Amino acid sequence: MGFITLFGGTKGGAGKTTAAINVSVSLAAAGARVVVVDADKQRSSAKWHARRVDAGHTPPMTLVEKQGNVYAMVTDLAKHYDHVIVDAAGDDNQEMRTAMTAADLMIVVLRPSQLDVETLEEFTGVIDTAHDFNPALRVRSLLNQAPTNHNETETVDVAEYLVEFPQVKPLETALYLRKAYRDSLADGRGVLEVPGASGKKARAEIQELVAEVYA
């Protein structure tokens, strides 16, 4: 069985699709069989995939779209792929809840802001319910769009606040607010596929994230 990773959360605009796509591209580039499940009505992953196909980027990526109850599809895909990456909408929805009952790992993507982190207070109840059906589900949090100005203290403050939620273990890796992420997605690529110095830091972040998550 393949490994099922769900990218989700209860706050929109946190950059779940950015994280999900870049992790998927990294795994595929390493030779894994990867399928992305776009379970978000906004279809951001699907639109990225269409741009990738049109541009002819390699390796080719497989993407399917599914809304509603995704459990059966996700578990079936795990029989045929090494990694199933689910991109769910940033709110409490059926797609996310049913994916949680199938996933090995959920990555809750958060911006380093108090408003984002406060959503975890209600979300812990959703996690507890999912564990009733899927006790093996692991839940980690990923800080995304962190400010590149290291004089900012909000990222540190948020990281300290996260320890109050034992159901969600923070990842050590953080992704920063970088133009390279936006540019690569607009071109149907991941940052690992963007050469040159402009994407160097973003490439290192994704490599670090994948190494930490799938060690």
Q: In this predicted structure, what is the pLDDT of residue 121?
A: 85
- Mean pLDDT estimate for the chain: 93
Which pairs from 145-151 meet CB under 8 Å and 24+ separation? 145/14, 145/15, 145/111, 145/112, 145/175, 145/176, 145/177, 146/111, 146/112, 146/174, 146/175, 146/176, 146/177, 147/112, 147/176, 147/177, 148/176, 148/177, 148/178
Percent pLDDT > 70 in the chain is 97
**Which helix (H) or strand (E) segment is 130 a member of?**
helix 120-133
**pLDDT tens digits, residue range 117-139?**
888 888 999 999 999 999 999 99
pLDDT category at 73 given cuts 50, 70, 90 is very high
**pLDDT tens digits, residue range 152-172?**
566 667 777 787 888 899 999
Q: In this predicted structure, what is the pLDDT of residue 27?
A: 98
Residue 195 pLDDT > 90: no
Fold adopted by 3-213: Rossmann fold (3.40.50)
Q: In this predicted structure, what is the pLDDT of residue 151?
A: 56
Bridge partners, 139 (sequence order): 106
**pLDDT tens digits, residue range 178-187?**
999 999 999 9
Q: In this predicted structure, what is the pLDDT of residue 91?
A: 86
Q: In this predicted structure, what is the pLDDT of residue 156?
A: 60
Mean local confidence (pLDDT), 204-214: 98
Instruction: Please name the amino acid found at residue 123.
Output: F
**Minimum mean pLDDT among 42-51, 57-66, 115-124: which range?**
115-124
Query: What crossing angle do the helices spanning 44-55 and 16-29 adopt, rounded to 10°?
Result: 40
